[in-house]
């Protein structure tokens, strides 16, 4: 898949500057030069990122030399943030109200065979009626006659 390319006009429009400004940034070494000249010149996504970051940096730093120094020290993540591409770093979470308290002791082990408060529901037997591949109708073994009649009707109507 080909990487997206941009004209100097595309970069300028997105950064809110004029094309000569971008050409000046390239001349002053704020952005890498591109192989083509004139209207056929195409810039990469990296150039777009740099253009957006430099346009923002230009509001703080007036010196091209100082902007070059700042850009040279930026990590890719910092460049994304400077360009306004990456989401801002979230502030740290507030401290937990339980900070500093001792942890809860573990619950005592259950006796063998004990299933806890769900014992009555888990211990029942179930019958699975295949309706279609990957679709089963589950009927509890203690279901009344009406539930079994409905299950049989569903199986007959929609079963294989």
Which position has the higher pLDDT, 133 or 112? 133
Half-sphere exposure of 66 (CA within 13 A, CB side): 7
What separation in angstroms does the CA of 82 have from each of 2, 24, 55, 89? Answer: 26, 20, 9, 12
pLDDT score of 53: 93
Report pLDDT digits (tens) over 11-21: 999 999 999 99
Report pLDDT digits (tens) over 115-146: 555 555 554 677 888 888 888 888 887 788 88
pLDDT score of 123: 45
* Widest pairwise Cα distance in the chain: 87
Report pLDDT digits (tens) over 37-94: 777 889 998 999 999 999 999 888 888 899 999 999 998 888 888 888 866 567 777 8
Q: Give dist(CA 130, CA 160) in Å, integer.
A: 8
Which position has the higher pLDDT, 16 or 147? 16
Cα torsion through 52, 57, 63, 64, rounded to 10? -30
Ramachandran region, residue 25 (left: φ > 0; alpha: ψ -120 to 50; beta: rest):
alpha
Do the Cβ atoms of 51 and 31 come closer than 8 Å? yes
């Amino acid at each position: 898949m080909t990487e997206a390319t941009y004209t100097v006009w595309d970069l300028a429009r997105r950064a809110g500057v004029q094309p000569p400004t971008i050409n000046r940034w390239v001349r002053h070494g704020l952005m890498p030069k591109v192989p083509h000249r004139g209207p056929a010149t195409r810039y990469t996504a990296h150039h777009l990122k740099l253009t957006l970051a430099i346009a923002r940096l230009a509001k703080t730093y007036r010196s091209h030399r100082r902007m070059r120094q700042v850009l040279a020290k930026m990590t890719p993540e910092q460049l994304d943030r400077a360009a306004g591409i990456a989401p801002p770093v979230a502030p740290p979470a507030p401290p937990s109200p339980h900070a500093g308290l001792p942890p809860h002791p573990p619950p005592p082990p259950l006796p063998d065979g004990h299933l806890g408060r769900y014992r009555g529901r888990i211990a029942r037997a179930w019958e699975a009626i295949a309706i279609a591949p990957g679709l089963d109708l589950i009927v509890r073994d203690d279901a009344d006659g009406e539930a079994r009649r409905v299950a049989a009707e569903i199986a007959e109507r929609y079963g294989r």
